[in-house]
A and B are shown apart, each in its own frame.
Chain A
């Protein structure tokens, strides 16, 4: 069974630029999550989708971050404009409803 796919694996941008990350969840998983993991910390949930609807985006900085899951499968997370403090690993996870989450390898973002 294929796992959660993410791309790109690494991205380096300058502050005030825009960036987008892509996630393809495990087939059949209705729930999709985006996390931000700053070096030395545990992952922090940014947004949770169930199918194409948002369940929780309370920790998403909505002035600069946006996410969508238009067809209830793939998802995109965007940052516009990026700040230095956005440097982190962005993790995508998916699950069946109410079950264990399975994580992708993450995208390491460096903002210069």
Chain B
């Protein structure tokens, strides 16, 4: 079962920052938070992951709260190509590093 909860859908204006929240209140101390996105008819695409500290790469930033019970994925300047379903996943480490996907957040970037 998924260990995360996310809003079902969100809209964002093109050029603005998209902030996608995720709750993972039962996360364990050694479990990483991963974010993927899935554009229609494609396989999920890796975006970013983190354990405790905030992370940034060329695609996005990941902000993890100090208690690690929630996180936010930030797309700094959303484009139409960022329209996709975004999955927040906790990687379960005690049984072999499996991912359990929820239903994700459907982000629509509006022109």
A34–B47 alpha-carbon span in the complex (Å): 20
Chain A interface residue count, CB cutoff 8 Å, equals: 26
A102–B36 alpha-carbon span in the complex (Å): 10
B96 touches A91 (CB 8 A): no
Closest beta carbon of chain B to A84's beta carbon, Å: 21
A93–B38 alpha-carbon span in the complex (Å): 14
Chain A 75-112 interface residues, beta-carbon cutoff 8 Å to B: 91, 93, 95, 97-98, 100-106
Residue of B nearest to A98 (CB): B97
Residues in chain A near residue B93, CB distance under 8 A: 98
B96 touches A56 (CB 8 A): yes
B98 touches A45 (CB 8 A): yes
Residues in chain A near residue B99, CB distance under 8 A: 33, 45, 101
A91 touches B103 (CB 8 A): no
- Candidates A91, A95, A97; contact of B43 at CB < 8 Å: A91
A31–B96 alpha-carbon span in the complex (Å): 10
Residues in chain B near residue A100, CB distance under 8 A: 34, 46, 49
- Candidates B2, B34, B44, B100; contact of A91 at CB < 8 Å: B44
Residues in chain B near residue A105, CB distance under 8 A: 42-43
| Residue A70 lies at the interface, judged by CB distance under 8 Å to chain B | no
| Residue A72 lies at the interface, judged by CB distance under 8 Å to chain B | no
B100 touches A45 (CB 8 A): yes
Residues in chain B near residue A43, CB distance under 8 A: 44, 101
A102 touches B46 (CB 8 A): yes
